[in-house]
Amino acid sequence: MAEKTGADTPTVRKARRPVIRWPGEDARGRSVWTRGRVLAACAVLTAGLLAFPGLVPNTPGRLGSLLESFLPWLGLVIVVLLGLAALRRSATALLALLLPVVAWTALFGGLVRPAQGGDVDLVVVQHNVSDENDDPAGTARALAGAEPDLIALQELLPSALPVYQEELAARYPYHEVRGTVGLWSVHPLSDTRAVDIKPRDIEEYWSRGMRTVVHTPHGEIAAYVAHLPSVRLGTGGFASARRDESAQRLARAIAAEELPRVVLLGDLNGTVEDRGLAPLTDRLNVPESGFAFSFPAAFPVARIDQVMARSATVSRIHTLPTAGSDHLPVVAHLRWE
């Protein structure tokens, strides 16, 4: 009988040892603590941006101001990271997400809470009525329907001004207009003057600031109405130099105001978090309750229409339905300190 060759010899295979995995490990052997590190890093970065937005430089392109303008929307980033962390079943990422949650809550949690009860001393409406508004009469009626004590308007055209005067006259017998801004009041007004907030490089006629004294049952109030220059987002970044200069001029005027009680109403083309408005927000109280995103009216993403006060608390702020403009009207309640 012929011998079997080596090729015919049966191959003996060694049995593989079973792979033992700890509970929660994935196919690559990563545990709930060792996976999701990238998500955890993103969470820490988000917390840093919320807690220290001032560390983001404004040069080039004023990126810091751009971030601050949309700072509340970092809450959506937290929600996305939370969903991804849950899908990855990463305890590390979930734990790291506590940092941005705490930071966001510290910054904006007060705006989510309902306004505290108590007496309201003054109700005001702030609205940029738009120079393209084709129904100023309807806009005036909508604003008066909120029954505020004061109505501040910007982008008033000479052709539309008589319409606002006629529609608001019955409830608001007192009004003052300087340039393209004006104030209507149920209380008497006096000592009205224009406030020069024009940036130095604008050579043409430009009048967007005014100051008047409102004689209320609670005493005199210096009311300022302003419309700061627009900002633009382009290839060069966030163009806000003119607005920032105008804000500084307005802040100097308010700092020199002798009356202790001051209310500022205006389209400031910036949010209260934006460092470009710091000359104002450092001196005046900002709303304590309500986001009141006012622009653009079709899908509001930021509140650039502001109500601020000195020696008073802006206890609540909210928006009204669209009223013929690309801005939403903003209603604020004030209590005197």
Q: What is the CATH number of the domain that holds 174?
A: 3.60.10.10
Domain boundary among 68, 92, 112: 112
Examine the domain organization and report whether 105 and 134 are in the same domain: no
pLDDT mean across residues, the chain: 91
pLDDT in tens, 38-82: 999 999 999 999 999 999 998 888 999 999 999 999 999 999 999
Tell me if 13 is assigned to some domain.
Answer: no
Question: Does 272 reside within a domain?
Answer: yes
Which helix or strand (DSSP H or E) is residue 313 part of?
Answer: strand 312-319
Expressed as residue numbers, the domain containing 74 is: 37-112
- Establish if 28 belongs to a structural domain: no
Domain-ending residue, one of 58, 93, 112: 112
Judge if 90 and 133 occupy the same domain: no
254-275 confidence digits (pLDDT tens)? 999 999 999 999 999 999 999 9
| 89 and 177 housed in the same domain | no
The letter for the amino acid at 275 is R
Residues 6+ apart with CB under 8 A from 320: 125, 142, 143, 146, 328, 329, 330, 331
| 176, part of any domain | yes
27: in domain: no
Q: Are residues 81 and 209 in the same domain?
A: no
Residues 279 and 247 in one domain: yes
Q: What is the pLDDT of residues 87-142, one digit of tens each?
A: 988 999 999 999 999 999 999 998 887 766 678 999 999 999 999 999 999 999 99
* pTM metric for this prediction: 0.88
Q: In what order do the strands lie in the sheet with 330-336?
A: 174-178, 181-185, 150-154, 122-128, 330-336, 312-319
Instruction: Give CA–CA dist 149/264, Å, rounded.
Output: 14
Domain count, the chain: 2
Q: Is residue 206 part of a domain?
A: yes
- Residue 74 and residue 199 in one domain: no
